[in-house]
A and B are shown apart, each in its own frame.
Chain A
Amino acid sequence: MFRLVAQRLLALVPLLFIVSVLAFSFTSLLPSDPVDLILGDTGTQEQHEMLRERMGLNEPLVVRYFQWLGKAVQGDLGTSFFNSVSVTDAVLLRLPVTLSLTAISALIAIVVGIAAGVAAALHPRSWIDRLATVGATFGQAVPNFWFGLILVAVFAVNLRWFPATGFTPISVSPWDWLRSVTLPSLALGLSSSAAIARQVRSAMVGVLQQDYIRAARAQGLSSRRVILRHALTNAMVPVVAVLSFQITVLLGGALIVEQVFAINGLGTLAIAAVRQQDIPMLQGLVLVMVGLVVLVQLATDLLYGLLNPKARPT
């Protein structure tokens, strides 16, 4: 297991290198000039040239890349073009926000998805199954930002149960933290729960028809034990693959939902960086997001091995 983790972490190095080269090249191809955005309408040509020089934009692309890379390997992702904020600090400040949003969304997706999938599989072609199918279709069809707006209108603006915007760190108040992440996490998590529910239902229906399930029932094991211990554990193997993909989707979705709820996470930072063409910030964000996705996949592999001994590395 340790070897697997080490191998995956080592594989991260060339991957991040390739991603950094691509991110650097693509952002440098952008047609507009960040100097224009900084100086505004009134900047003179002389100021324009001075600022380009100061920001190092007159250096050849390769030189700029290696200068950046030299610092990046030491944990310094550079400084924002627009203020004195360190990219590393800015990303680390927002990472817990996006991670906690994604974690709660994933929890909602897993709990709701598995419960709905199991319920539907245990009562095939019943009203429960149809309700779960309709719910899953609706959940997958509805865009999460739209669902977020509906949740805000009902539960924040009208009922005042939750705040409409913002994020409270868990260190400030666990209760306020929970209130601040509930609506965005629901907006994000319910669409993923729909995908998980479909997968769980399909896998469970297959597993419940297996001989070993019949044998377990014949031995007099309780229905709960048969479902949870034998059927669900085996049905979860294909579900884990979907889960990995869904968590990646949740990370991407968080970037949009953060806008709806004015949450200061990586998504808000990314959108501001794109608008301002803050190239160092964009590069830092791309690297961190790629790193997160790779870590999610690694965690999935570990979970896969946990559920399926045959899949564990020797």
Chain B
Amino acid sequence: MKKWITTSGVIAALALGLAGSPASAQGSGTFKYAEQVKLITMDPQKQSGSGVPFLRPAYESLFEKGPDGENVPLLATEYTVDGLDVTIKLREGVSFSNGEPFNAEAAAANINRGVEIGIVEGLKTVESAKAIDEYTLGIKLKEIDPAIITTLCYTGGMMIAPSAMADPALDRNPVGTGPYVHSKDESREGEVQVYVPNPTYWDKDMIGLARYEVWEIPDDTARLNALKTGQIDAGNWLSNPQAAIIDKSPDLKLIRNNGGLNYHVIISDREGTVVPAFADPMVRKAMALAIDRDAFNQAIQFGLAVKSFQPYGKGDWAYDPALEGVYEYNVEKARELMAQSKFPDGFTFDMPSIPIYQPRLEALAGFFNEIGITMNIVPVEPGTLARRSRTTDFPATNLVWNTVTDPKFLALRYIYEDAAYNPFKAKPSEALLALAQEGLTSVETDVRAPIYHKMAAQLADEAFLIFVTNAPILIGVSDDTAENPTVRYRYGEDSINLRGLKAND
């Protein structure tokens, strides 16, 4: 019997002995942010989606967005764009957290690495980069690119220490020039990433925290509970019931930050190859008019979005107020257009769906059904919607568009004959093509804005992109965070500007 007890005891002791892992501390001078996505990589040039809050503490970009979306130098001091040549003067006296100097050689190595890896969409127009002198960076473009400086405000412009580029574990060992450095020992993989002040930071007055933490809490309810109980100071949400609870809670505040996601329907088969009705602009306009965007917003997005008739939202330089209400819900007019079209009896088409879009598509199917159009919702595997949308598998699709993306990408994604989401290779109208080209001729937004206003109007007229709603970037914060004067939300990002950020107390 004793042997049995001993063996069982050893097994139990072994099991309990496994319990335990590294520590983390809490205290004053800490700010805690919760991310809704899991950390995939801390290598900015391999970043393809969300997760920027994990990068911002350690990495700085050459430029950043100002409060109104303007490009503001950060690691750069000034720039000129002359055709295919971009010249950028760099800030002197900056070093990476590993002690390496930040100079034009380092900046050129970063840009060239980003081009070689090819994941940052905005760097696809770059031929190469080189150091002109110690603090002057030269970038050669393959084609005119008015959005190149905007690209350098985000991951495309984040600077990695050159020696760290060779580290195969760079995605967990970030080395940048940012105000904080990643503390691997205090971080817990999959749970929390901890950052502490960078002793070599070039602007020490802007370090306001003893510790910054980014928590990975993908579950919306768990993240909400963490915010309610003060375990986190802020976190990001999509337009879901939990965000609506924050919006109504007296102790919390929901920040609607610039940027966000525009949900839209794309008529891919706009020449009618598979669904002839889609070639008729009257049918497409009828579809746009049949959508009750207010009801859609209330029912599907909990009233947190706004109705949309163009790719951009209010506050963006490319937004055109004249287009507001251009396809305001009018089912009678939609029916009239259908009656006047060659398809008065309606038609049927297939629409791909992933689980998170299912309620949206069920609502749209109901609206289209009112004008005699039957939309069959076809489930596709999660993660395959973008890929399937680039094929001719479906005559139409539905996606989201980040509203701070430069308008030149509208043409690259939807308009050009070889655009990513033009799988049927529909020829663009001459008007659209001319506007797309004209939009590339200047880097100045006040010059480009009227051109893109015309493009948005032309898109509305052709109606192969049917915009439904704009959901802003939603950041839920505690009362204390809402009242903290040092909290500045980054334009077009779901993150807080860490320069100058102080703890709530």
- Residue B28 at the A interface, CB < 8 A? no
Residues A39 and B18 in contact in the complex (CB < 8 Å), given A1-B4, A259-B222, A302-B4: no
- Residue A291 at the B interface, CB < 8 A? no
Given contacts A30-B381, A103-B15, 13 further A-B contacts (CB under 8 A): A43-B118, A82-B41, A93-B190, A95-B18, A156-B225, A164-B226, A165-B226, A166-B191, A171-B20, A259-B222, A264-B188, A264-B189, A272-B38
CB neighbours of A170 from chain B (8 A): 19-20
Return A172 CB to nearest CB of chain B, in Å: 4
- Residue B7 at the A interface, CB < 8 A? yes
- Of all A-B residue pairs in the complex, the 7 with the closest CB atoms, nearest first, are A40-B48, A164-B225, A264-B191, A171-B20, A262-B222, A172-B23, A42-B121
Q: Mark B379-402, 1 if CB is under 8 A from A, else 0.
A: 001111011000000000000000
Decide: B119 and A39 in contact? CB cutoff 8 A: yes
- Residue B55 at the A interface, CB < 8 A? no
Interface core residue of B15, B119, B218, B420 (most chain A CB under 10 Å):
B15
Of B164-172, B254-262, B276-284, B331-339, the stretch lying at the interface with chain A is B164-172
CB neighbours of B39 from chain A (8 A): 83
CB neighbours of A120 from chain B (8 A): none
A259 CA to B190 CA, complexed, in Å: 13
Decide: A40 and B119 in contact? CB cutoff 8 A: yes
Decide: A157 and B49 in contact? CB cutoff 8 A: no
Q: How many residues on the A side are at the interface (Cβ–Cβ under 8 A)? A: 62
A286 CA to B41 CA, complexed, in Å: 24
How large, as a class, is the contact surface on chain B?
Answer: 35 or more
- Residue A76 at the B interface, CB < 8 A? no
Instruction: Tell me the chain A residues, 90-123 only, with Cβ under 8 Å from chain B.
Output: 90, 93-97, 99-100, 103
Among candidates A36, A262, A303, residue contacting B386 with C-beta atoms closer than 8 Å: A36
Decide: B387 and A306 in contact? CB cutoff 8 A: no
CB neighbours of B171 from chain A (8 A): 83-84
Return A258 CB to nearest CB of chain B, in Å: 9
Return B45 CB to nearest CB of chain A, in Å: 13
- Residue A211 at the B interface, CB < 8 A? no
Residues A37 and B20 in contact in the complex (CB < 8 Å), given A82-B41, A262-B217: no
- Residue A130 at the B interface, CB < 8 A? no
Residues A94 and B172 in contact in the complex (CB < 8 Å), given A83-B41, A164-B228, A165-B231: no
CB neighbours of A166 from chain B (8 A): 191, 215, 226, 231
Residues A157 and B228 in contact in the complex (CB < 8 Å), given A85-B172, A306-B1: yes
A42 CA to B21 CA, complexed, in Å: 38
CB neighbours of A160 from chain B (8 A): 229
Return B93 CB to nearest CB of chain A, in Å: 32
Decide: A1 and B229 in contact? CB cutoff 8 A: no
CB neighbours of A47 from chain B (8 A): 118-119
Residues A302 and B11 in contact in the complex (CB < 8 Å), given A32-B381, A157-B228: yes
CB neighbours of A302 from chain B (8 A): 4, 7-8, 11
Return A152 CB to nearest CB of chain B, in Å: 5
- Residue B80 at the A interface, CB < 8 A? no
A-B contact pairs, 25 of them (CB 8 A): A31-B381, A32-B387, A33-B384, A36-B387, A40-B49, A42-B119, A82-B40, A84-B169, A90-B190, A93-B188, A93-B190, A163-B231, A165-B225, A166-B191, A167-B191, A169-B21, A171-B20, A171-B23, A172-B22, A172-B24, A259-B222, A264-B188, A275-B383, A277-B383, A306-B1
Return A262 CB to nearest CB of chain B, in Å: 4
- Residue A23 at the B interface, CB < 8 A? no
CB neighbours of A163 from chain B (8 A): 229, 231
Q: Mark B42-65, 1 if CB is under 8 A from A, else 0.
A: 000000110000000000000000
CB neighbours of A190 from chain B (8 A): none
- Residue A305 at the B interface, CB < 8 A? yes
CB neighbours of A196 from chain B (8 A): none
A305 CA to B479 CA, complexed, in Å: 59
A31 CA to B393 CA, complexed, in Å: 15
Decide: B229 and A93 in contact? CB cutoff 8 A: no
A40 CA to B381 CA, complexed, in Å: 15
Residues A42 and B222 in contact in the complex (CB < 8 Å), given A157-B228, A166-B191, A306-B5: no
A160 CA to B7 CA, complexed, in Å: 41
- Residue B219 at the A interface, CB < 8 A? yes
- Residue B223 at the A interface, CB < 8 A? yes
Interface core residue of B16, B41, B189 (most chain A CB under 10 Å):
B189
A90 CA to B226 CA, complexed, in Å: 24
Return B51 CB to nearest CB of chain A, in Å: 11
CB neighbours of B22 from chain A (8 A): 169, 171-172
Among candidates B8, B41, B118, B384, residue contacting A31 with C-beta atoms closer than 8 Å: B384
A95 CA to B21 CA, complexed, in Å: 10
CB neighbours of A272 from chain B (8 A): 38, 190, 218
Residues A303 and B8 in contact in the complex (CB < 8 Å), given A165-B225, A262-B226: yes
Return A7 CB to nearest CB of chain B, in Å: 14
A89 CA to B189 CA, complexed, in Å: 10
- Residue B221 at the A interface, CB < 8 A? yes
Return A237 CB to nearest CB of chain B, in Å: 15
Decide: A164 and B168 in contact? CB cutoff 8 A: no
- Residue A260 at the B interface, CB < 8 A? yes
Among candidates B3, B4, B19, B188, residue contacting A100 with C-beta atoms closer than 8 Å: B19
A33 CA to B48 CA, complexed, in Å: 16
Decide: A84 and B168 in contact? CB cutoff 8 A: yes
Instruction: Tell me the chain A residues, 28-84 only, with Cβ under 8 Å from chain B.
Output: 30-33, 36-44, 47, 82-84
Instruction: Tell me the chain B residues, 226-278 only, with Cβ under 8 Å from chain A.
Output: 226, 228-229, 231
A306 CA to B169 CA, complexed, in Å: 49
A275 CA to B36 CA, complexed, in Å: 14
CB neighbours of B226 from chain A (8 A): 164-166, 262
- Residue A269 at the B interface, CB < 8 A? yes
Return A257 CB to nearest CB of chain B, in Å: 11
A31 CA to B379 CA, complexed, in Å: 12
Instruction: Tell me the chain A residues, 132-163 only, with Cβ under 8 Å from chain B.
Output: 149, 152, 156-157, 160, 163
- Residue A24 at the B interface, CB < 8 A? no
- Residue A268 at the B interface, CB < 8 A? yes
Decide: A306 and B221 in contact? CB cutoff 8 A: no
A14 CA to B191 CA, complexed, in Å: 34
Return B425 CB to nearest CB of chain A, in Å: 15
Return A199 CB to nearest CB of chain B, in Å: 21
- Residue A131 at the B interface, CB < 8 A? no
Return A293 CB to nearest CB of chain B, in Å: 14
Decide: B386 and A41 in contact? CB cutoff 8 A: yes
Interface core residue of A95, A164, A260, A269 (most chain B CB under 10 Å):
A164
